[in-house]
């Protein structure tokens, strides 16, 4: 049997502790997989004296990350410390020191992924990041290996557990956003500052990674149109339910005629759509391939052991490559130059709630406006409101270009009969009344 594989850890938080736990408890399986023992020899932490839920030999701990990065005995560096700029420098240094890197850091990979993959290849190193998207769901490996022979046309999914938990509770229990957010924070599902989750940035970073891999195109975070869930009301959810839909925060990446759009936004899904029944903190990703058709990947999107499982799976892949002498050969740079859809080329159905003056001709005036832009209605409700002598019109359109819809929105607010556009969301799929 060859010598053991030496692993260094940057970070020993929730995921890092899970990695140590899996490596120690699954040693027999790892030896069977790769033919030699795996040993975590050095761990960089911020606080040596912090109480942890796993036992660690104090000799293995250090507050200096360079004792990991520059240790000549360490073969693989696992980065689970989080952050972007400092972590980028550590990972870059590790790769240039000819160390293979496994990371769970979607923020790092969304911002610096293309550069780091290039540096890894130049130094004959592996850089794997399965755990950066959807926790324990093997979606990255599925795109890069399982579906490598297909042409991916669309990736659509729930990739943030915090927002999915909030929307699940709001939908099922009729509770207000602020109340459920506070509960999510008390349960540890949401951070004290939940902005990255609830405003869609976390999901956008993950969709940047998935779109880059799925379409083999260098997609940047700035290319993703992002809208969060903080504006969703109980009325939005109630009307959606009445029309046969469920609202979810959905990441959408689609490719048509070699042009791509990527977005994260609250989206109405038909209740019969599989993603509509993905609840609480679970994640799910739909992938549409030209040859394979529709596939769906479902599972825990976060958590200590699910995420650590993805990290250790990447570690196994690195070690197998070491045995074969093919490290650094898996990196595939984007095949196509970036080509984004214009607003004219992005087609979707839309849901809209409008408060109008309760007077004759109001609906006719709105219908005429939509007709002028060649946008027709799939569903429409008109309901009286108790306050201010107003009526509420709820519309689901047929497919329209984003440009036409934006122009309609701009013009609506100038109509004398319109009091306020209360909400507007994208609609995917076919709903039922």
Pick the CATH number of 5-135+304-324 from 3.40.640.10, 3.40.50.720, 3.40.50.2000, 3.30.420.40: 3.40.50.720
Task: Convert the pLDDT of each residue in 342-367 to its tens digit.
Answer: 999 999 999 999 999 988 889 999 99
Task: Convert the pLDDT of each residue in 103-149 to its tens digit.
Answer: 999 999 999 999 999 999 999 999 999 999 998 899 999 999 999 99
Task: Convert the pLDDT of each residue in 242-283 to its tens digit.
Answer: 999 999 999 999 999 999 999 999 999 999 999 999 999 999
Per annotation, catalytic residue among 206, 248, 341, 379 = 206
- Residue spans in the chain of domains classed CATH 3.30.70.260: 347-427
Strand 152-158 to strand 245-256: parallel, antiparallel, or no bridges (unpaired)?
antiparallel
Q: Are 278 and 158 in contact (CB under 8 A)?
A: yes
Distance CA 217, CA 185 (A): 36
Known catalytic residue at 206: yes
Using pLDDT thresholds of 50, 70 and 90, give the confidence band for residue 333. confident
Q: Which fold has domain 347-427?
A: Alpha-Beta Plaits (3.30.70)
Using pLDDT thresholds of 50, 70 and 90, give the confidence band for residue 329. confident
Task: Convert the pLDDT of each residue in 57-73 to its tens digit.
Answer: 999 999 999 999 999 99
From 407, 405, 409, 431, select the one nearest 420 (Cα to Cα).
Answer: 409
Distance CA 249, CA 263 (A): 10
What CATH superfamily is the domain 139-300? Answer: Dihydrodipicolinate Reductase; domain 2 (3.30.360.10)
- Residue spans in the chain of domains classed CATH 3.40.50.720: 5-135+304-324
Rg (CA), the chain: 24
Using pLDDT thresholds of 50, 70 and 90, give the confidence band for residue 430. low
Residue 45's pLDDT is 96
Sign of the Cα pseudo-torsion (316, 322, 325, 326, in order)? positive
Distance CA 379, CA 377 (A): 6
Q: What is the mean pLDDT of the chain?
A: 94
At 298, list the tokens: 């479902």
Using pLDDT thresholds of 50, 70 and 90, give the confidence band for residue 429. confident
- Residues 298-314 have a mean pLDDT of 91
- Residue spans in the chain of domains classed CATH 3.30.360.10: 139-300
Residue 182's pLDDT is 96
- Our measurement of the distance from residue 4's CA atom to the centroid of its chain's CA atoms, rounded to an integer in Å, reads 35
Q: Are 419 and 258 in contact (CB under 8 A)?
A: no
Q: Are 263 and 423 in contact (CB under 8 A)?
A: no
Residue 384's pLDDT is 86
Distance CA 380, CA 352 (A): 10
Task: Convert the pLDDT of each residue in 413-423 to its tens digit.
Answer: 899 999 999 99
Q: Is the pTM of this model over 0.95?
A: no
- Per-residue pLDDT for 2 more than 60? no
- List 7's β-bridge partners, or say none: 40, 76
- Per-residue pLDDT for 205 more than 80? yes
């Amino acid at each position: 049997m060859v010598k053991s594989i030496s692993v260094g850890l940057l970070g020993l938080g929730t995921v890092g502790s899970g990695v140590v736990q899996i490596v120690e408890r699954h040693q027999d399986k790892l030896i069977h997989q790769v033919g030699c023992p795996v040993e975590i020899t050095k761990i960089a932490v911020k606080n040596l004296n912090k109480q942890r839920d796993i036992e660690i030999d104090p000799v293995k701990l250090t507050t200096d990350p360079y004792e990991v990065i520059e240790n000549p005995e360490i073969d693989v560096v696992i980065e689970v410390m989080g952050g972007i700029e400092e972590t980028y420098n550590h990972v870059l240094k590790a790769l240039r020191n000819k160390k293979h890197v496994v990371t769970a850091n979607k923020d790092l990979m969304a911002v610096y992924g293309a550069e780091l993959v290039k540096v890894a290849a130049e130094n004959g190193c592996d850089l794997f990041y399965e755990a950066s998207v959807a926790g324990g769901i093997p979606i990255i490996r599925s795109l890069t290996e399982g579906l490598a022979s297909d042409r991916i046309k669309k990736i659509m999914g729930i990739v943030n557990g915090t927002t999915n938990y909030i929307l699940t509770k709001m939908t099922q229990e009729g509770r207000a956003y602020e109340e459920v957010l506070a509960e999510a924070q008390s349960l540890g599902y949401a951070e004290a500052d939940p902005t990255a989750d609830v405003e869609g940035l976390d999901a956008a970073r993950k969709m940047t990674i998935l779109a880059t891999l799925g379409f083999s195109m260098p997609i940047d975070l700035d290319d993703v149109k992002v809208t969060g869930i903080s504006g969703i009301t109980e009325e939005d959810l109630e009307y959606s339910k009445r029309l046969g839909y469920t609202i979810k925060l959905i990441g959408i990446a689609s490719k048509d005629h070699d042009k791509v759009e990527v977005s994260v936004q609250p989206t109405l899904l038909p209740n019969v759509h599989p993603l509509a029944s993905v609840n609480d903190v679970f994640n799910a990703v739909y992938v549409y391939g030209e040859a394979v058709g529709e596939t769906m990947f479902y599972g825990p999107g976060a958590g200590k052991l699910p995420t650590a499982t993805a990290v250790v799976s990447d570690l196994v892949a690195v070690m197998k490559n070491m045995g074969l002498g093919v490290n650094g050969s898996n990196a595939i740079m984007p095949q196509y130059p970036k080509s984004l859809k214009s607003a004219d080329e992005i087609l979707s159905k839309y849901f809209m709630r409008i408060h109008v003056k309760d007077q004759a001709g109001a609906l006719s005036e709105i219908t005429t406006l939509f007709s002028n832009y060649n946008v027709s209605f799939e569903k429409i409700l008109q309901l009286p409101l108790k306050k201010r002598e107003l009526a509420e019109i709820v519309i689901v359109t047929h497919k329209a270009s984003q440009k036409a819809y934006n122009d309609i929105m701009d013009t609506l607010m100038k109509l004398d009969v319109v009091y306020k556009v209360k909400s507007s969301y994208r609609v995917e799929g076919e709903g039922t009344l």
